[in-house]
Amino acid sequence: MAARYFLILDNGGTNTRALIFDGEGAQVGVSVFDTPWIQDTPEMREIDLKGMRDSLFAAIRQVLDKTGVAPKDIACITCVGHGKGLYMLDKNGQIFCNGILSTDERAKALARSFETRIEEIYPISHQHVMASQSPVLLRWIKDHDPERYVNIGSVLSAKDFVRYLLTGGIHQEVGDASGNNLINLRTRNYDDRLLAFFGISEAAQWLPDLVESADIVDKVDAEAARETGLIEGTPVTGGLFDIDAGTLGSGALDHNHYSVIAGTWSINTYLSKAPTARMPGIMNSLFLKDRVLVEASSPTSSGNLSRILRLLSPDGKDSDEDYQRLEANLKHEDADFTQVLYTPFLYGSNSDPDAMASFVGLESTTTRMQLIRAVYEGVVFAHRQHIDQLLSSDSTRPESLRVCGGAANSPSWMQMFADILGLPVETIKGHEITGLGGAVLSSYATGEYATLQQAADHMIHVDSRFEPDAVQHRKYDEKYGRYQTLLDALNGVWSKLQATPEEGTR
C-alpha cells in the first residue's frame, strides 16, 4: 500500500506554512514564508492577496521538493487560517483588492458602538462584537470605501480564500463563519437579522454556501496543479480556522483539558455541548458538527516578545540565539526578579479598547533583562484574564491546559504559565500544532479513522508537563493583582494618551 500524506496550508497573520504530515501525525516537512501584510496606517493591517497566492504556490512546490513526497501520495489537503478578518472576491470571482487581517483595528470605534447593543444579537450568534469580524469590517468599508464595497462579489475567511486558490470553489466553512458573527448557532446557518444589525443587509448576496470542516468539499483544479506540482483532483476539506485547529491539534477534545494558543493572539478555549450564557469576554462558535467552542481571546500573546526584542536590539532584529540566551536566563529567575509590569497591547487589548503596550515601574537600576521578563509575565497575565473568564463560565475545573504556539517552544515560559495560572500545563509533541490539527482532520475526512477522537488518540502525543509551584503561584497572585489594579486605573484614560494624526507628525 502506498504511503499516505496530508498537506496542510496554514495561513497565519504573521507567517504562512505549507506542511506535510504522515498518517502517524509526524511532521515530514515544512516551507514557511512571511505573510505579505501591509500597514499603511497604525490601525490598518492588510494583505496582498496576489502576492499571497504566488508565495503559497511556491511554498507548496518547495515542501514537496524538500521532502521528496510524491504528489500522488498526498491523500488530502486541509487549509487552516486565522479567524476573523476579511477576504473578498469581485463579482467575477476574482481577486480585486487586499485582504484584511485579524489584527486590523480600523473599525474598533464601530465595534465599540455595536457592542453597546449586544443584547440584540447575542441570543442569535452567541458572539460579542470585535473590530476584525467581517460584518464590522464590511460596515466600515461601506461607510469609508464605497467604491470597494460595491465591487464585492464574495466574502470569505482566510482559509476559505486559500481553498479557493487551490480549487476555484467559493465556500464558507461554518465554524469560521460563526466566529465572524455571521451564523445563528441554533440553525447553523446565516441569519439576516445579524446582517441587519450591522447595517449591511445587502451583504447576504455575497455570502457563499456553507460547508462543514471535515467534509471533502473541493478538489485541486488544473491551474493550481500546474503551478504547484500537486495532482489535479486531490481532495480538499472544508478546513479549520486556527482556533479550531489548535484545539484539535492539542487533543483537547474533552472537558478535562482547555486549549491555549500563545501566538500573536492569546486564544483560550474549551469544548461544550451548548453555548454559554452571555458573559463579558466569552465567545461561542461552532466546532465540527456537534460541539461548541467556548473562547476568550485577544491579540495579546507571544507576538509581543519578538517585537519588543527587536525594539531593544541594537540592530533591530531578533534571532534564535537571542531566544536561547533568554531561555538560559529564565531558568535562574523567579517571580521576584522584576517588579516592572508590562501591558501586552501592541496589537490590541483585552482591557480598554484604546489601551496600549507599556512598561510601568522602571527605576534607574532596571535592566534590559528585567524589561524582557516583564514581557513574558505580562503575556501570561493576559492569558490568565481569559482563563479566569472561562473558569467563571464553566462548572468544572480542567485537569490541565494544553498549550501550543510560539510560547510553547520555551520550557521556562511554560513553567511560568503553570505558576501564574495555577494549573498543570502540557505541551504536545511537534512544533506545528495547528498544522497537526489539520492533519488529524484530514485523516478522519478520508476515512483513516472512524471517529475524530480515534484519529486524535493515534496522532497526538503529550510531550512535556509542567506542574505549578505553590510558592511562585502565591507571588504571582500578588503581582497579577497589581497588574489588574493598573489596568483598572487606566481604563478610560488611554484615549487621552493617544496622539491625533496631526499631533503625531509635529
**Strand partners of residue 269:** 259, 295
- Tell me, rounded to whole angstroms, the distance of Cα 178 from its chain centroid: 15
Q: What is the mean pLDDT of residues 425-439?
A: 94
Burial 344-370 (b: 16+ CB within 10 A, else e): bbbbbbbbbbbbebebeeeeeeeeeeb
**pTM greater than the 0.75 cutoff:** yes
Q: What is the mean pLDDT of residues 203-221?
A: 97
The pLDDT score that the predictor gives to residue 232 is 98
Element (H, E) at 18: strand 15-22
Say how far apart CA 289 and CA 275 lie, in whole Å: 14
pLDDT at residue 1 above 50? no
Instruction: Answer whether CATH 3.40.920.10 is correct for domain 5-238.
Output: no
Residue with cell 462584537: 129
Q: What is the mean pLDDT of residues 196-223?
A: 98
The pLDDT score that the predictor gives to residue 494 is 93
The pLDDT score that the predictor gives to residue 281 is 84
Say how far apart CA 78 and CA 291 lie, in whole Å: 20
**154-192 pLDDT per residue, tens:** 999 999 999 999 999 999 999 999 999 999 999 999 999
Q: What are φ and ψ of residue 326, in 5° steps?
A: -65, -40
Cell of 241: 480556522
Q: What is the mean pLDDT of residues 298-302?
A: 92
Say how far apart CA 142 and CA 397 lie, in whole Å: 44
**2-44 pLDDT per residue, tens:** 579 999 999 987 789 999 999 999 999 999 998 878 988 889 9
For the chain, the structural domain boundaries read 5-238, 252-497
Residue with cell 521528496: 68
Which CATH code is given to the segment(s) 252-497? 3.30.420.40
Residues 248, 456 contacting (CB under 8 angstroms) = yes
Helix H segments across 313-367?
320-330
The pLDDT score that the predictor gives to residue 2 is 58
**445-499 pLDDT per residue, tens:** 999 999 999 999 999 999 999 999 999 999 999 999 999 999 999 999 998 887 6
pLDDT at residue 285 above 90? yes
Question: How does residue 506 score in pLDDT terms, banded at 50, 70 and 90?
Answer: very low
**304-358 pLDDT per residue, tens:** 999 999 999 888 888 888 899 999 999 899 999 999 999 999 988 999 989 999 9
The distance in angstroms from the start CA to the end CA of the chain is: 69
Q: What are φ and ψ of residue 39, in 5° steps?
A: -130, 90
Summary mean pLDDT of the chain = 94
Q: What are φ and ψ of residue 267, in 5° steps?
A: -120, 125
Residues 120, 42 contacting (CB under 8 angstroms) = no
Inter-axis angle of helices 303-312 and 368-393, to 10 degrees? 170
Domains 5-238 and 252-497 share a fold: yes
**398-410 pLDDT per residue, tens:** 999 999 988 999 9
